[in-house]
Amino acid sequence: MKIAVLPGDGIGPEVTRAALRVLDALALPGLVLFEGDVGGIAYKRHGHPLPQETIDMARAADAVLFGAVGDPACDDLPREHRPEQAILGLRSELGLFANLRPAAGWPGLEDLSPLKPQLARGIDLLVVRELNGDVYFGAKGERDSDGGREGWDSMAYNEAEVRRIAHAGFRAAQSRRKRLTSVDKANVLETSRIWRETVIAVAADYPDVELDHMYVDNAAMQLVKSPGQFDVILTGNLFGDILSDQASACVGSIGLLPSASLGERKTEYGTFGLYEPIHGSAPDIAGQGKANPLAAILSLAMLLRHSLGREADAGRVERAVAQVLADGVHGADLGGSASTETIAEAVLKALETI
Ligand code: NAI
Ligand code: MG
């Protein structure tokens, strides 16, 4: 079993180190780790945020454990050298088109959500976000206009792209509560019209799943007003990015939401994938030992489940996280004072008895 570890920038290395301590405690037989540079640190060391050797390392592994990229010192670089291009490049180079972002209320956190406790408690949803298309990957540039310089980005989705993510969404719904809400903006966007028509066509293969459609602005409102109505939210790259950050706040903190990015490649043990917290490099708290490592630790649990076929270990890690949260070991993001290390150690301690 090979895992490529790409810690990246800012709090990326801090939370990844915590996840690796948990992985170490599981003592998986035959596990080999490789570590590579990605993001701003890779730009500084190799002159490129996504060096070819990092791509090769990721390709040769069964799974990638990713921290975060983004460095304010790189903000003025041309786009192709910016750290964020590394994660976009990896997702597309590795064909990782399905991004799974589970958000569920944790016992003990109900009062920390900005929502009413009974609403926070009822959250148990999965955002299935398309990851290889949309406005992130369309043609873009800068041109002159009557109003001065004009930036432009093009948003595009074809039927094949929508079909494959729709299948991933319906399959996920079949393994959950069998409800799928497709989120788009079909009242104004052509991409969304194709999206909606394609999702409706794919739904014929999944008669056991109840499908409904929601405009993204309404979905944002419904997530706050009655989040318990959602099971699987199927949506595009941009809307999924925004709605999953919003869902994380409803649960209590962005420091709690993991993600899996999957494609079609199978490994000996499961599906090849990249696993990362949904948050970024958080330069405002980097180097202070304040980052909540639980999103990274929960991302490791997803890695164990999807890429290594170790469901029992994944479940153990998730139960340990639940116990730590219920015990009130909370970082600054949840109004507590536990450091990254204290939280990681609490998870290790909980694992001893789970
Ligand atoms: P961010 O997610 O890094 O931070 C947003 C806010 O949440 C900040 O106040 C931060 O301190 C807090 N936060 C994030 N993770 C936390 C954690 N684990 N524990 C406690 N607090 C946490 O988003 P922001 O500030 O918009 O972006 C910072 C950099 O990260 C930018 O360069 C951005 O492009 C990059 N980014 C990278 C991503 C990736 O690598 N996949 C995803 C999102 C942003
Ligand atoms: Mg985001």
Convert the pLDDT of each residue in 98-153 to its tens digit. Answer: 999 999 999 889 888 999 999 999 999 999 999 999 999 999 999 999 999 999 99
- Is residue 216 within 8 Å of residue 184, measured between CB atoms? yes
pLDDT for the residue numbered 54: 98
Instruction: State the ipTM, two decimals.
Output: 0.98
State which ligand 1 atom lies nearest to the alpha carbon of 294: 18
State which ligand 1 atom lies nearest to the alpha carbon of 70: 32
Residues in the annotated binding site for Mg(2+): 217, 241, 245
Instruction: Give me ligand 2 centre to Cα 241, in Å.
Output: 5
299 alpha carbon, closest ligand: 1
Q: Which residue ranges of the chain lie beneath pLDDT 50?
A: none
pLDDT for the residue numbered 207: 98
State which ligand 1 atom lies nearest to the alpha carbon of 283: 28
Instruction: Give me ligand 1 centre to Cα 241, in Å.
Output: 12
Task: Tabulate helix, strand, coil % of the chain (nearest 5).
Answer: 45, 20, 30
Assigned fold of 1-96+258-354 = Isopropylmalate Dehydrogenase (3.40.718)
Residues in the annotated binding site for NAD(+): 280-292
State which ligand 1 atom lies nearest to the alpha carbon of 83: 32
- CATH 3.40.50.140 for the 110-251 domain, yes or no: no
Whole-model pTM: value is: 0.95
- Residue with token string 């602005």: 217
Question: Is 153 considered catalytic here?
Answer: no
Catalytic residue, candidates 24, 217, 225, 327? 217
CATH 3.40.718.10 location in the chain: 1-96+258-354, 110-251
Question: Is 185 considered catalytic here?
Answer: yes
Question: Is 245 considered catalytic here?
Answer: yes
Residues 111 and 242: their CA atoms lie apart, in Å, by 23
Q: State if residue 211 touches ligand 1 by the CB under 6 angstroms criterion.
A: no
Could you list which residues have their CB under 5 Å from ion ligand 2? 241
Residues in the annotated binding site: 91, 101, 129, 217, 241, 245, 280-292
Neighbour order of strands in the sheet with 2-8: 32-35, 2-8, 63-68, 271-277, 258-266, 98-104, 124-130, 232-235, 179-184, 210-215
Q: State if residue 68 touches ligand 1 by the CB under 6 angstroms criterion.
A: yes
Residues 248 and 262: their CA atoms lie apart, in Å, by 21
Q: State if residue 69 touches ligand 1 by the CB under 6 angstroms criterion.
A: yes
